């Protein structure tokens, strides 16, 4: 049995995937340049003889002197605060990084899984979003660096599948939350929890009517593991189809944390999606997967994690 090589393995989702693969008895090689990942996320695995960490930038060629069974490409800044600060690095990891990861999979005759994103749908005109929807993306807007890097990554993954017969998978990940998110992550749940626990005002953009759907990390990881084993090559949405408005989310977090925080309204950022919700009929059909963790339960677990790190 070969190893699993995971790029971006010290990140929020990557570290949870490392943990699950180790629990399943796999050898895991974790590659991360730590630009947005954190060594603390993988610290508990460093003593495991089946775990290996390599600090490496995937936009540079990847050389591994052992058999690889699976390449899982999760490296990329994933929060608006990161990819707006690191626009060129984001484009490079989606293009050069994906090219290098696919090149490694080709050389090792390994399976390949790409972590794509619901951002490929942009500010969607179709709701909920099925995999067949081509999206509504502003390629030259500030968020375009992430959206287009992932759209390119999907295109090159399918090209390697068709031309080089690489055994590929593509997962489109919708909003995910849970332990090991960074306090300065910039996404709405870490923002609100950090603000509520420190009794700061919760910043809501626009009127807070925009909706999101949040999937707890353990549910997402289960979906990814199932997709790894499934012989299916086109993109698959993984996310929670339960919608909540941003203003409702703010009130819920204030209530659970028993915070004294108030809500503060700020102007809506450019190209902020008004609605974001996955159609998961495909994942239900081919993976027999749907989220199990109730939103409030997942939020409570995430809040207790933030209490420890704040």
Specify the pLDDT at position 103.
98
Which tokens is 274 given?
A: 């008004």
Specify the pLDDT at position 34.
96
Specify the pLDDT at position 79.
87
* Per-residue pLDDT tens over the stretch 71-90: 999 999 988 889 989 999 99
Q: How far apart are CA 82 and CA 256, in angstroms?
A: 28
* Per-residue pLDDT tens over the stretch 186-222: 889 999 999 999 999 999 998 899 989 999 999 999 9
99's CB contacts (< 8 A; 6+ apart) are 156
Q: Could you give the 3-state DSSP secondary structure of residue 246? A: helix
Provide the sign of the torsion angle of the four alpha carbons 166, 56, 64, 5, taken in this order.
negative
Q: Which domains does the chain carry?
A: 3-176+215-238 (3.40.50.720), 180-212+242-277+293-309 (3.90.25.10)
Identify whether 121 is a catalytic site residue.
no
Which tokens is 21 given?
A: 């693969």
Angle at 63 between CA 84 and CA 102, to 5 degrees: 60
Q: How far apart are CA 18 and CA 48, in angstroms?
A: 11
Q: How far apart are CA 150 and CA 119, in angstroms?
A: 8
Per-residue HEC secondary structure of 105-121 comes to HHHHCCEEEEEEEHHHH
Q: How far apart are CA 240 and CA 79, in angstroms?
A: 18
Question: First-to-last CA distance in the chain?
Answer: 41
Q: Could you give the 3-state DSSP secondary structure of residue 199? A: coil
Q: Is pLDDT of 1 > 70?
A: no
Phi, psi of 104 (to 5 degrees): -65, -45
CA 50 to chain centre: 24
Q: How far apart are CA 17 and CA 97, in angstroms?
A: 19
Q: How far apart are CA 196 and CA 260, in angstroms?
A: 7
Q: Please state, in angstroms and as integers, the Cα–Cα distance from residue 266 to each residue in 68, 204, 263, following that order.
A: 48, 6, 10
Specify the pLDDT at position 271.
63
Specify the pLDDT at position 35.
94
Which tokens is 245 given?
A: 């408005």
Asked if 235 contacts 172 with a C-beta cutoff of 8 angstroms, the reply is yes
Confidence of residue 244 (pLDDT cuts 50, 70, 90): very high
Q: How far apart are CA 43 and CA 15, in angstroms?
A: 10
Asked if 208 contacts 247 with a C-beta cutoff of 8 angstroms, the reply is yes
Specify the pLDDT at position 161.
98
CA 10 to chain centre: 12
Asked if 98 contacts 156 with a C-beta cutoff of 8 angstroms, the reply is yes
Q: Could you give the 3-state DSSP secondary structure of residue 243? A: coil
Which of 146, 160, 177, 216 is labelled catalytic?
A: 146
């Amino acid at each position: 049995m070969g190893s699993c090589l995971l790029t971006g393995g010290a990140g929020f989702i990557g570290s949870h995937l490392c943990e699950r693969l180790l629990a399943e008895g796999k050898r895991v090689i974790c590659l991360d340049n730590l630009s947005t990942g954190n060594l603390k996320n993988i610290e508990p695995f460093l003593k495991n003889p089946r775990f290996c960490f390599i600090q490496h930038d995937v936009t540079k060629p990847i050389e591994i002197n052992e058999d690889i069974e699976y390449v899982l490409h999760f490296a990329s800044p994933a929060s608006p605060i990161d990819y707006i600060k690191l626009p060129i690095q984001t484009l490079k990891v989606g293009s050069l990084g994906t090219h290098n990861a696919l090149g490694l999979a080709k050389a090792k005759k390994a399976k390949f899984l790409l972590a794509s994103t619901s951002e490929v749908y942009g500010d969607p005109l179709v709701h909920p979003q099925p995999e067949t929807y081509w999206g509504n993306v502003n390629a030259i807007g500030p968020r375009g660096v992430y959206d287009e890097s992932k759209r390119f990554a999907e295109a090159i993954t399918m090209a390697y599948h068709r031309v080089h017969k690489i055994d590929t998978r593509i997962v489109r990940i919708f909003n995910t939350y849970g332990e090991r998110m960074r306090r300065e992550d910039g996404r709405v749940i870490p923002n609100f929890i950090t603000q509520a626990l420190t009794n700061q005002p919760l910043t809501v953009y626009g009127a807070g009517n925009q909706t999101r759907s949040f999937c707890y990390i353990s549910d997402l990881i289960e979906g990814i593991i199932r997709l790894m084993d499934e012989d299916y090559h086109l993109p698959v949405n993984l996310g929670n189809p339960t919608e909540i408005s941003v203003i409702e989310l703010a009130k819920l977090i204030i209530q659970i944390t028993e915070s004294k925080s108030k809500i503060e309204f700020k102007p809506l950022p450019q190209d902020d999606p008004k609605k974001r919700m996955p159609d998961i009929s495909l994942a239900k059909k081919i993976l027999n997967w749907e989220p199990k963790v109730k939103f409030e339960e997942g939020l409570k677990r995430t809040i207790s994690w933030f209490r420890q790190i704040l």
